[in-house]
Amino acid sequence: MNDITAKPAQDRVTIKDVAKKAGVSDISVSRVMRNAPNISAKLREKVTAAADELGYTPNRLAGALKTRSSNLVAVIVPSMSNAVFPEVLDGIDSVLAENGFQAALGITHYDKERELQVVRDMLAWSPMGVILAGTDQDERVRHLLLKQAIPVVQMMDIDSDPIQVAVGMSHRDAAYEVAERMVAKGYKKFGYIGAWGERPDRSKLRRLSFEEKLSELGCPLIARLIRDENSSVQIGAQATQALLAENPDIDCIFYANDDLAVGGYFHCMSQGISVPEGLAIVGFNGIDLGQALPSKLTSVKTPRFTMGKESASILLRCHNGAEVAPIHDLGFELMLEGTA
Amino acid sequence: MNDITAKPAQDRVTIKDVAKKAGVSDISVSRVMRNAPNISAKLREKVTAAADELGYTPNRLAGALKTRSSNLVAVIVPSMSNAVFPEVLDGIDSVLAENGFQAALGITHYDKERELQVVRDMLAWSPMGVILAGTDQDERVRHLLLKQAIPVVQMMDIDSDPIQVAVGMSHRDAAYEVAERMVAKGYKKFGYIGAWGERPDRSKLRRLSFEEKLSELGCPLIARLIRDENSSVQIGAQATQALLAENPDIDCIFYANDDLAVGGYFHCMSQGISVPEGLAIVGFNGIDLGQALPSKLTSVKTPRFTMGKESASILLRCHNGAEVAPIHDLGFELMLEGTA
DNA sequence: AATTTAAATGACAACGTTACCAATCTACAT
DNA sequence: ATGTAGATTGGTAACGTTGTCATTTAAATT
């Protein structure tokens, strides 16, 4: 025992170690591990036995480098605070996981500069594809993505030209429909409440479309209040109070989202304003909370989980070479409930 | 122009292309790209110019393979539907992004088998570290992670032995405190409402600790109702109705989370039950919604965003070789508001 | 049995980086 | 001038896998 220090801290167990142990070639191990065709049962058994014994874990870095493709999918969303995105993410992951893909998450915080950075970082991993939110990306992001030979899906809205494919709904149409139905119901003095400085752009589009249609119908928006803070029930209540203080004759408020709308509802409750007689309230998104209120919230139900699912499955289809339409309209549903 | 088909679909721009264009060696490009020390201004300029012109994007797969380390961090959570995890994720990402790391997301759906699979898949990417939720992992997962030479942080609760480091709060203590304070307030007939089959385990621990302390204080739990469905405001309302129907004398209900508790509150509102006189309501998590109710929700405020932040920053510290305590108690706050 | 065809395995060379070590080139002290 | 430390650059060989093509072996055909 003179040749000391035998084991120099053997790092990772590689395909070579397994091959040696199983008495086969490296490539055979590789084939067994990725379930390639034409493998004899005997080989498979030998290899898996050796692999299990050694506790071998394939190194995807090496594999991906060689195949020039990975099972990572870049998923880039603006925020995690808005309940919409977790739901969408859930939908995405449900499809990806089932097909052996992995979501790599990027959060932009509604910052264009950061979005560019995140996209760059993601592309460095040679993702199989990219899913991002909205169609209002910076020109540099569009350009960068355009150059890649991978599928790119933009989700949430379909109101602008997509880079490749857009999956979502028309926020313009949703706003039009809200305006039309509320006017038809007899409301005449409309208000609008938004937050977070109207990020993302699609919320602004929604408001503009709402205003446009209202004017068209002969009863233009009376007043609007866009708070800088992020949306929340509390902000919704505060904003409602402020808006009504300045414009007591408003009979219907369209909110940028359900959180704000619920806040408005609570405000009415605490002030003894009857809903919808004293004030009609219309939210946006159709989240669970709104349907649990003593009086159910009238809102536009958006297909969030489905949007995620569809985005991912369309991405997969693109990846598999299928021809895919550039616009996928998943629609929405105006739920006329108790508050308007 | 006879030598046709010049460009054979030149794939990715590599470091070699940049080197050729800039008239320098590959390695120099590499060094400039990762801001290595001792680079002359001239070299840097030549390289960046060439890189920009060619639109070069580094290939992290190759880099990570060579350095045997990546900037990916595996983040494994059980669910996205529960608002707790998006918030935690937000906290994690805020720290990771700032330090040049990337979150790779895995969702287990509270399935042990799936968790194992997800952990395996993640480890194949040689992540810098792993962050997961809870301390109730399957033995195989613990074993697998124990073998890795990377930092592992378990977040959410600190009531069991961590693999390496646990960051969170004691759900046992929180339950104890709720029991003590409510008994001190004079409530005597306690009920408990949970959902989702008491996943994750820490919610069960919370209930058991609550029951234990109540017994100790001489007023054992009257009744409990654990719904199978996922938590929601609606389920909370239904469960409250059911529990009260069977046990009309209950004067205080502790809910597994705020969604359920808000449901309970709505139920009371619609039934004309005064809160907290007719029924005291205690939630868990301290989410925004509860504080926006006409009467604020009494709840245990958990440090969700902070938990994410701390988890990530502790992971970073471990990665940088610092010694880190195995248990990090971030505490909680029992917010005594209007409903109890 | 001879021949063809397919199935099963192996050898070698990449994939695009970076670690490691060697070489060159400054600037400054002798 | 001459040497020398330090700054700057380059060459070579991996990292661990898989694509491509060659080879062997078994099964199928005549």
DSSP structural state of residue B265: H
B234–A288: do the CB atoms touch at under 8 Å?
yes
Q: How far is A212 from chain B (nearest CA, A)?
A: 32
Fold classification of A15-58 is 434 Repressor (Amino-terminal Domain) (1.10.260)
Q: Where in chain B is the domain with CATH 1.10.260.40?
A: 15-58
Among A164, A75, A162, A151, residue whose Cα is nearest residue A115: A75
Least confident of A34-38, A195-199, B184-188: A34-38
CB-CB neighbours of B11 under 10 Å: 8
Residue given tokens 């699609």 in the structure block: A202
3-state secondary structure of B194: strand
DSSP letters, A45-82, are HHHHHHHHHHT----HHHHHHHHT--SEEEEEES-SSS
Find the radius of gyration of the CA atoms of chain B. Answer: 27
pLDDT of the residue at A150? 93
What is the average pLDDT across A120-142? 95
- Whether residue A194 contacts residue A203, with contact meaning beta carbons closer than 8 Å, is answered with yes
B93 in contact with chain A, both atoms CB, cutoff 8 A: yes
Q: Where does residue B62 rank: exposed (0-12), middle (13-18), buried (19+ CB within 10 A)?
A: middle
pLDDT digits (tens, 9 = 90+) for A201-249: 999 999 999 999 999 999 999 999 999 999 999 999 999 999 999 999 9
Q: How many Å apart are B109 CA and C26 C1'? A: 62
A106 in contact with chain B, both atoms CB, cutoff 8 A: yes
Q: Which superfamily does A71-169+304-331 belong to?
A: Response regulator (3.40.50.2300)
Q: Taking 60 as the threshold, does the pLDDT of residue A6 lie above it?
A: no
Options 3.40.50.2300, 3.30.70.270, 3.30.300.130, 1.10.10.10; CATH of B67-169+304-331 = 3.40.50.2300
Angle at B89 between CA A302 and CA B152, to 5 degrees: 145
* CA-CA-CA-CA dihedral for B266, B331, B220, B241, to nearest 10: 10
Q: What residues of chain A lie within 8 A of the CB of B241, using their CB?
A: none
Q: Where does residue A322 rank: exposed (0-12), middle (13-18), buried (19+ CB within 10 A)?
A: exposed
pLDDT of the residue at A12? 83
Q: What residues of chain A lie within 8 A of the CB of B126, using their CB?
A: 59, 61
Q: What residues of chain A lie within 8 A of the CB of B62, using their CB?
A: 65
Residue A240, both tokens: 């409602």
d(CA A314, CA A325): 10
Q: Where in chain A is the domain with CATH 3.40.50.2300?
A: 71-169+304-331, 171-301
Q: How many Å apart are B249 CA and C26 C1'? A: 90
Q: How far is A298 from chain B (nearest CA, A)?
A: 16
Q: Taking 60 as the threshold, does the pLDDT of residue A123 lie above it?
A: yes
The count of C-alpha atoms lying within 13 angstroms of the C-alpha of B277, restricted to the half-sphere facing its C-beta, is: 4
Mention every residue, 6+ apart, whose C-beta is less than 8 A from residue B222: B189, B190, B191, B247, B249, B250
- Whether residue B250 contacts residue B220, with contact meaning beta carbons closer than 8 Å, is answered with no
Q: State which nucleotides on strand D lie below 7 Å from a protein beta carbon.
A: 7-12, 14-20
d(CA A29, CA A19): 6
Among A residues 159-218, those touching chain B with beta carbons less than 8 Å apart: none
Predicted confidence pLDDT, tens digits, chain B (340 residues)? 333 333 334 568 999 999 999 999 999 999 999 998 889 999 999 999 999 999 999 999 999 999 999 999 999 999 998 889 999 999 999 999 999 999 999 999 999 999 999 999 999 999 999 999 999 999 999 999 998 889 999 999 999 999 999 999 999 999 999 999 999 999 999 999 999 999 989 999 999 999 999 999 999 999 999 999 999 999 999 999 999 999 999 999 999 999 999 999 999 998 999 999 999 999 999 998 898 888 999 999 999 999 999 999 999 999 999 999 999 999 999 999 999 9
CB B58 within 7 Å, strand C: yes
β partners of residue B102: B72
At residue A187 the predicted structure's pLDDT band, cuts being 50, 70 and 90, is very high
Q: Taking 80 as the threshold, does the pLDDT of residue A305 lie above it?
A: yes
- Whether residue A105 contacts residue B103, with contact meaning beta carbons closer than 8 Å, is answered with yes
d(CA B37, CA A159): 48
Comparing A7 with A107, the larger pLDDT belongs to A107
d(CA A89, CA A308): 6
Q: Give phi and psi for A221, each to the nearest 5.
A: -55, 135
CATH number of the structural domain A171-301: 3.40.50.2300
Q: Taking 90 as the threshold, does the pLDDT of residue A293 lie above it?
A: no
Among B76, B77, B93, residue whose Cα is nearest residue A107: B93
At residue A5 the predicted structure's pLDDT band, cuts being 50, 70 and 90, is very low
Among A residues 276-315, those touching chain B with beta carbons less than 8 Å apart: 288-289, 291-294
Q: How many Å apart are A40 CA and D24 C1'? A: 14
What is the average pLDDT across A315-324? 94
What is the average pLDDT across A132-154? 93
* CA-CA-CA-CA dihedral for B6, B10, B14, B17, to nearest 10: 10
Closest in B57, B120, B288 to A123, CB measured: B57
